[in-house]
Amino acid sequence: KANIAVGQTDKSKLFFFIDTQEYEEKITNYMTKTNAYQEIISGICPLADNLHLVILLLDHLLQRNEITKEQHKQMYPNLKTLELAHIYFNLKVHKPEMSVRPIVASINAPARQISNFLDELLTPIYNYVTKDITFINGIDVVRKLQEYQQQGYLTSTTLFLTFDVADLYTMIPRDGAIAALTRFCQKYAINGKIGNIKVDTIIQLACVVLDTNSFAYKDKYYRQIKGGAMGSPFTMVLANIYMLEWEQKLIQHQKEHHEIYGR
């Protein structure tokens, strides 16, 4: 009898079939390489503690009028469907080494609604700020290249370079990401606020999302101690904001030399 693992491939709707032992080795190698997950050795489910942290913060912010009653309700956990997140791993069949991508299924986790709130608050600002350096799709790339050519900058010696940040969401330094988020919010805030939310409040909400990023895997409990969870809406905009700061010298260099840069 074949011992085969079946799952969905990364970035597609196709399924993969792989020897279970090989699949488990890829997962173990990933967790060891990133060192992003810490087992909760007490064996106690962290759901209650995470819920307590979320409710404590939301109630505190409401009492201090840092958020409105409507926002408090919007971010409050749904106690009827509450559950601890779990993790699964998609296979990156588009990569030569066919590594895995961790997805933390946190749709009913305590801080999920806060994650949604931060994503909806910050992503439109990020998208506006980066509209000139964002490739929406392949057609958008072609259009930018046409403009580049029409301006006379495309030559026979033009080089096309691509690069990939491995395990970006998992590996961004947490303190560095929060610091970058703070600077981003301060830069684009109006009177110290994004919408009607103070920058300090945004940072508190961001921290509780990261601090409660726990999940179950193979009858054990883990806490993510690096980066953000794939599957949490806030993680993408946090990683993008961190990368935007990191990219600034390259963006400026390309602009000064009439070259193209985009993500």
**pTM across the whole model:** 0.90
pLDDT of amino acid 131: 92
- Does some domain include residue 16? yes
218 Ramachandran zone, left/alpha/beta (phi>0; psi -120 to 50)? left
Residue 17 lies in a domain: yes
Give the whole-angstrom CA distance, residue 48 versus residue 82: 10
Residues in a beta bridge with 17: 6
pLDDT tens track for 197-243? 999 999 999 999 999 999 999 999 999 999 899 889 999 999 999 99
- Residue 261 belongs to some domain of the structure: no
Q: Is residue 194 part of a domain?
A: yes
pLDDT tens by residue, 140-156: 999 999 999 999 999 98
Residue 10 domain flag: yes
| Confidence check: pLDDT of 1 > 60 | no
Number of domains in the chain: 1
pLDDT digits (tens, 9 = 90+) for 240-257: 999 999 899 999 999 999
Domain that holds residue 67: 4-256
Inter-residue contact 113 to 81 (CB < 8 Å): no
> Has residue 221 been placed in a domain?
yes
For the chain, the maximum distance between any two Cα atoms, rounded to a whole number of angstroms, is 66
